[in-house]
C-alpha cells in the first residue's frame, strides 16, 4: 500500500511548502514540505534553498520511509484512509514516536475508535499544545475513522467545517467563527 494522491495532498496542505530553510516550532531545521534531516535526504541547514521541483521530489522520496514504517508497524491491515492518516501522522511526528504511539497500538488491537481518538494526543510542538497541529490531528482522526471522508476538499478553517470529528465539542471550539 502507498499513500494515495489525496493523502499526499493532505500532507502538502498541512505542512505547507517553504523553499528556504527555517526552524520549526521545536527548533528543527526544516525545508520544503516539512523535510528535516531525519528524512534521510541529507542535512537541512540554515540558509539552505531548494526549488519547488526539489520540494515535491523530496516529499515523494521521503514518504517511502514513512510508508514502510506504517506498513511494518501494522499487524492489522489498514484501509486506504487509515493508512493515509497514519502516514501523515508518522511523517509529522517521526518514526520512533509513531511506532510507540497509541494510534498504532490501538489500530493493531482492532480498537479503531480508540486509534482514531488517539490522533489528537499528538498535538504538541516543543511540549506545548499547538492549534495548527490540533487541527491536523482532528482531520487525521476523521480521515482514519471514516471511509467516506473527502480529503480533496479544503482543510477545515475557522469559518468552515468540512468533516464531523469523533468529539464535536473539541471541533466546535477550534473552528467556531472568530
**Residue showing cell 517511502:** 64
* CA distance linking residue 146 with residue 177, whole number of Å: 25
Based on its alpha-carbon atoms, the radius of gyration of the chain, rounded to whole angstroms, reads 16
Is 56 noted as a catalytic residue in this protein? Answer: no
Secondary structure (3-state) at 124: strand
Which residues, including other chains, have CB under 8 Å from residue 88's CB and lie 6 or more apart? 7, 10, 11, 14, 136, 140, 143
Which residue of the set 6, 24, 57, 153 is catalytic? Answer: 24
User: Would you state the cell numbers that stand for residue 21, as one nine-digit string?
Assistant: 530553510
**Catalytic: 84?**
no
Catalytic option among 15, 67, 84, 141: 15
Counting Cα atoms < 13 Å in the Cβ hemisphere of 156 gives 27
Active-site residue list:
15, 24
Amino acid at each position: 500500500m502507498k499513500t494515495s494522491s489525496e493523502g499526499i495532498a493532505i500532507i502538502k496542505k498541512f505542512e505547507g511548502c517553504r523553499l528556504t530553510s527555517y526552524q520549526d516550532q521545536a527548533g528543527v531545521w526544516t525545508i520544503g514540505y516539512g523535510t528535516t534531516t531525519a528524512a534521510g535526504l541529507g542535512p537541512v541547514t540554515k540558509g539552505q534553498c531548494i526549488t519547488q521541483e526539489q520540494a515535491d521530489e523530496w516529499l515523494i522520496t521521503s514518504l517511502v520511509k514513512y510508508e514502510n514504517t506504517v506498513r511494518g508497524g501494522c499487524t492489522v491491515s489498514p484501509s486506504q484512509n487509515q493508512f493515509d492518516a497514519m502516514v501523515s501522522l508518522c511523517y509529522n511526528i517521526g518514526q520512533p514516536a509513531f511506532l510507540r504511539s497509541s494510534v498504532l497500538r490501538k489500530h493493531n488491537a482492532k480498537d479503531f475508535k480508540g486509534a482514531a481518538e488517539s490522533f489528537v494526543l499528538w498535538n504538541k510542538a516543543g511540549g506545548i499544545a499547538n492549534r495548527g497541529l490540533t487541527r491536523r490531528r482532528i482531520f487525521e482522526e476523521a480521515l482514519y475513522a471514516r471511509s467516506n471522508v473527502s480529503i480533496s476538499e479544503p482543510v477545515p478553517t475557522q469559518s468552515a467545517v468540512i468533516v464531523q470529528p469523533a468529539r464535536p465539542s473539541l471541533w466546535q471550539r477550534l473552528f467556531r467563527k472568530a
